[in-house]
Amino acid sequence: MNKYEVWMEGYAATGEHGSAHRLVSKEGKTLWEGETFKDAVKAAVEEVIEEKNYYDPERNTYWGCRFFDNEAEARSSFG
């Protein structure tokens, strides 16, 4: 199993915005395990995100925001 940080890119839409952020569990877990990065994202989403119906495992997005394994790429769009 590989371990990954999972970052979600920021967004700007209809007057609202959000910055990129790392997915962290309530216990402070910051590394997620998976055979692939996509598997690690699924594990992070399962544990951290409450509204799972907005997660698209095919596109690997949440509300259209992409996931990355590093901060620099996550912040490259909308900070």
- Extract the tokens encoding 26: 């309530």
How many domains is the chain built from? 1
Q: Whole-model pTM above 0.95?
A: no
3-state secondary structure of 38: helix
Write out pLDDT tens, residues 3-37: 999 999 998 788 778 899 999 999 999 999 999 99
pLDDT digit string, tens, across residues 50-60: 999 999 999 99
63: tokens are 């509300």
Domain carrying residue 65: 2-75
